[in-house]
């Protein structure tokens, strides 16, 4: 990446981020910050690069594509943080940066002499985002943690699937994604606070707590009423109609008409306006109590039309409905295309473009962007970063490289 390419124009264009750690949660947080314009410098061990480079189910020319998306908009350098000289170089980078994102097991930075007490002495404004399985404190803090276990321990996995069956996972690392998103939320709040106080702080994110935070009323339902919520298949218990239904061409349609006004529109669209005033379905509570019967009525009606016809009919009627798309249909969707949610990433390894997700959220004045795919090899940006940020000469870099420090 050239000097010009490194100058992003997003909302965080004046923020430099040092990204430590591997795999998903920390790198996902770094990706989101990079999408918004931050200069994200990903630091990899020169002997053990991020395993994410080899992840992904698709392959082309021996290259997999998880890395392409999660390392986008980053500059990649190598640095041995276990070596004293590597730790000294890192301290010099900290002095020139705003944010550090790491997802090591708690205590790792401290073991290397790089705890927040040390880093904040070097740079009082530094924000340290720490993503771990259980957080930096508490009886489980020292345990290793992965998203799948966090989803289970937080109770999130218990809510998924069908009653009486093994609770399945979403075919993604959801817990890591949630952890990364909460880390970015914390970083942005800490940067805003720094504007007032001049000081940074630690952002402590646990994967278990990120999974717990999205569970709506699960805890008060239990505490106040003794309700242990469980999986409910394709619907939510007590919220109806909001389910998927099979169409005449053997496709699935999701119809979400649980609000009173939208349900009345659905009844009209079904040529059954009387259902809106039926005591069994007249309001939210009644529909929740009788959702089995209501689902049968809607399912029988949906089965008489094709997906395309149903979508057109319900859209015209003002009823919320949509298909269950595969990725092939998502990539072709004109709405996603119109909002630049399917965008090319230039893969420097193969010198070709590969599609990936766009930048969320869309900012009106300082939009984010995808400026490059993940750098193809560890240390790809060593010369530029060490020269530009730390002023190291080619001779100094060569000596460090020969010693395995970078």
Active-site residue set:
176
- For residues 169 and 157, is the Cβ–Cβ distance under 8 A? yes
Residue 254: strand pairing partners: 244, 322
Pairing mode, if any, of strands 127-132 and 202-206? parallel
- The torsion region of residue 336 among left (phi > 0), alpha (psi -120 to 50) and beta comes to alpha
Pairing mode, if any, of strands 16-19 and 342-347? unpaired
- For residues 388 and 3, is the Cβ–Cβ distance under 8 A? yes
CA nearest to 100, candidates 28, 41, 13, 180: 41
Distance of CA 39 to the CA centre of its chain: 19
Alpha helices (runs of H) in 22-76, residue ranges in sequence order: 25-35, 66-70
Strands (E), 238-368: 242-246, 252-256, 320-323, 342-347, 352-357
């Amino acid at each position: 990446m050239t000097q010009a390419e490194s100058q992003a124009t997003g909302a965080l264009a004046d923020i430099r981020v040092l990204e430590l750690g591997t795999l998903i949660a920390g790198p996902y947080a770094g990706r989101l910050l990079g999408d918004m314009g931050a200069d994200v410098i990903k630091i990899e061990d020169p002997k053990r690069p991020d395993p994410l480079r080899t992840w992904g189910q698709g392959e082309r020319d021996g290259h997999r594509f998880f890395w392409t998306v999660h390392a986008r908009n980053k500059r990649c350098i190598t640095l041995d943080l276990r070596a004293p000289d590597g730790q000294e170089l890192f301290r010099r980078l900290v002095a020139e940066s705003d944010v550090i994102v790491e997802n090591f097991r708690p205590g790792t930075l401290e073991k290397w002499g790089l705890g927040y007490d040390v880093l904040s002495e070097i740079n009082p404004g530094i924000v340290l985002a720490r993503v771990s399985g259980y957080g930096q404190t508490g009886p489980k803090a020292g345990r290793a943690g992965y998203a799948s276990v966090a989803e289970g321990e937080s109770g999130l996995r218990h809510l998924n699937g069908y009653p009486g069956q093994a609770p399945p996972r979403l075919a993604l690392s959801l817990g890591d994604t949630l952890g990364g998103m909460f880390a970015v939320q914390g970083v942005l709040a800490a940067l805003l606070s720094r504007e007032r106080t001049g000081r940074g702080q630690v952002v402590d994110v646990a994967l278990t707590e990120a999974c717990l935070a999205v569970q709506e009323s699960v805890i008060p339902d239990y505490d106040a009423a003794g309700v242990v919520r469980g999986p409910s298949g394709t619907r939510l218990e007590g919220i109806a109609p909001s389910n998927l239904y099979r169409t005449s061409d053997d496709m699935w349609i999701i119809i979400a008409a649980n609000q009173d006004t939208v349900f009345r529109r659905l009844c009209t669209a079904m040529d059954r306006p009387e259902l809106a005033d039926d005591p069994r379905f007249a309001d939210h509570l009644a529909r929740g109590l009788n959702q089995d019967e209501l689902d049968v009525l809607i399912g029988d009606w949906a089965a008489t039309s094709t997906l395309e016809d149903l979508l057109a009919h319900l859209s015209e009627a003002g009823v919320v409905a949509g298909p269950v798309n595969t990725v092939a249909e998502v990539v072709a969707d004109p709405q996603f295309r119109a909002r630049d949610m399917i965008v090319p990433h230039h893969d420097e390894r193969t010198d070709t473009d590969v599609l990936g997700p766009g930048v969320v959220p869309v900012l009106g004045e300082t939009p984010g962007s995808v400026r490059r795919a993940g750098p193809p090899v560890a240390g790809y940006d060593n010369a530029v970063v060490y020269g530009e940020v730390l002023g190291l000469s080619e001779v100094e870099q060569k000596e460090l490289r020969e010693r395995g420090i970078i």
